[in-house]
């Protein structure tokens, strides 16, 4: 490291980043989570050259509503980089925002990555952060960060299980003695649930809706086990046959049917993890159960359905959405304790 980098590092605030498919959270050393914005970048093409128009919340408002010259892009897909240049611009924007737009920001950064990401994908994330101005970049696997953030005793000789359902991936891991005993990164999560609702609406009601509308349905009446609730949702979209606007009324039963194929995949992956877990740790899980984290943990009755299917007690982390960011932040602040869980490429 050059003397210049060391000097710049003295003026910079070290950061932990949960670089999610749907949202990016930034944790600053000594301050906690200081930023939570959608992972969206709006690009405008001027004279044949792309310029960043907006990042985060401002850019998300433009999704599906932009004129021809503007593109609203989600640069991460399934938890990994789909657009290297746009991701670099997004990280650069968040670094400047945390440092009050200082041109001399040169922070150390820890970023979480899906367990199933390849060395090439991990290197791409690290290089994007370096190009955005970081002086040092380390990576931590997402379920490890989620488990740390949820307060699980992963350093002890007992089994702990975490299921982190984000926007692009569902991370499943069984941990003990500070390491991962079994892990699986399922590239099916919140976005896939939204898409399953879009498909269901098209097939059952001949109604065309967008992903953002499907997300609203999921949050308003989405459930894994239909209840006797009379909750309904008035859905507006375009009739595929006539091409004119149309309105239908959805029930909780509709939402459960729509999301069922994706939920089934998630539960099967959890069962596969339990089958691969050593007997001694399986005995621990009977008592400890598993913990749900990520935005998907808020899905109504998901904990009850998983418990019914696996026979294990299922609990929801205290702050599911922030678990990964908090865990990554703890790894940043307590590097001596968690250094074995950090990697560089």
Fold type of domain 3-40+77-144+324-343: Nucleotidyltransferase; domain 5 (3.30.420)
Which candidate, 117, 120, 92, places its Cα nearest to that of 106?
92
97-101, 148-152, 154-158, 329-333: lowest mean pLDDT where?
A: 97-101
Q: How confident is the model at residue 333 (pLDDT cuts 50, 70, 90)?
A: very high
pLDDT digits (tens, 9 = 90+) for 267-304: 999 999 999 999 999 999 999 999 999 999 999 999 99
Quote the CA–CA distance of 102 and 93 in Å, as a whole number: 11
282 by DSSP, 3-state: which?
A: helix
- The CATH number for 158-188+261-318, chosen from 3.30.420.40, 1.10.1060.10, 3.40.30.10, 1.10.357.140, is 3.30.420.40
**pTM for the complete prediction?**
0.88
Query: What is residue 98's predicted lDDT score, i.e. its pLDDT?
Result: 87
pLDDT digits (tens, 9 = 90+) for 219-243: 999 999 987 778 889 988 999 999 9
Domain-by-domain residue ranges, the chain? 3-40+77-144+324-343, 41-73, 158-188+261-318, 190-258
Could you check whether 158-188+261-318 and 190-258 share the same CATH topology?
no
Per-residue pLDDT at 6 exceeds 50 = no
Query: What is residue 202's predicted lDDT score, i.e. its pLDDT?
Result: 95
Query: What is residue 271's predicted lDDT score, i.e. its pLDDT?
Result: 96
**Please, which residues have CB within 8 angstroms of residue 334's CB and are 6 or more apart in sequence?**
none
Per-residue pLDDT at 104 exceeds 70 = no
Query: What is residue 105's predicted lDDT score, i.e. its pLDDT?
Result: 66
Range with top average pLDDT, 85-94, 119-128, 270-279: 270-279
Question: 10 Å Cβ neighbour count for 263?
Answer: 23
115 vs 148 pLDDT, higher one: 148
Query: What is residue 189's predicted lDDT score, i.e. its pLDDT?
Result: 95
Query: Tokens 């008035």 label which residue?
Result: 234
Q: How confident is the model at residue 8 (pLDDT cuts 50, 70, 90)?
A: very low
Which candidate, 121, 141, 42, 46, places its Cα nearest to that of 89?
42
Which CATH superfamily includes the segment(s) 190-258? ATPase, substrate binding domain, subdomain 4 (3.90.640.10)
């Amino acid at each position: 490291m050059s003397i210049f980098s060391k000097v710049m590092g003295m003026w910079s605030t070290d950061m932990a980043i949960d670089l999610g498919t749907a949202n990016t959270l930034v944790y600053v050393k000594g301050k906690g989570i200081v930023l939570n914005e959608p992972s969206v970048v709006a690009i405008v093409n001027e004279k044949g050259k792309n310029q960043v128009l907006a990042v985060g919340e401002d850019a998300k408002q433009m999704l599906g509503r932009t004129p021809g010259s503007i593109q609203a892009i989600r640069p991460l897909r399934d938890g990994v980089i789909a657009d290297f240049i746009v991701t670099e611009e997004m990280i650069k924007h968040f670094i400047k925002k945390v440092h009050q737009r200082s041109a001399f920001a040169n922070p150390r950064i820890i970023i979480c990555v899906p367990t199933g990401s390849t060395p090439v994908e991990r290197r791409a994330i690290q290089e994007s952060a370096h190009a955005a101005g970081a002086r040092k970049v380390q990576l931590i696997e997402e379920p490890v960060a989620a488990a740390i953030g949820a307060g699980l005793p992963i350093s002890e000789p007992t089994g702990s299980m975490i299921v982190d359902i984000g926007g692009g991936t569902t991370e499943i891991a069984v941990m003990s003695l500070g390491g991962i005993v079994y892990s699986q990164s399922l590239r099916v999560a919140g976005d896939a649930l939204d898409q399953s609702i879009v498909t269901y609406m098209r097939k059952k009601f001949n109604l065309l809706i967008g992903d953002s509308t499907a997300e609203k349905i999921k949050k308003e009446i989405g459930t894994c086990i239909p209840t006797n609730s009379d909750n309904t949702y008035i859905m507006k979209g375009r009739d595929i046959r006539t091409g004119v606007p149309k309105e239908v009324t959805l029930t909780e039963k509709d939402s459960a049917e729509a999301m069922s194929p994706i939920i089934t995949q998630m539960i099967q992956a959890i069962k596969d993890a339990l089958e691969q877990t050593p007997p001694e740790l399986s005995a621990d899980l009977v008592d400890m159960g598993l913990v749900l984290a990520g935005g998907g943990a808020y899905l109504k009755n998901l904990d009850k359905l998983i418990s019914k299917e696996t026979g294990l007690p299922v609990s929801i982390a205290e702050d599911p959405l922030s678990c990964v960011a908090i865990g990554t932040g703890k790894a940043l602040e307590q590097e001596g304790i968690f250094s074995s869980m950090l990697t560089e490429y």
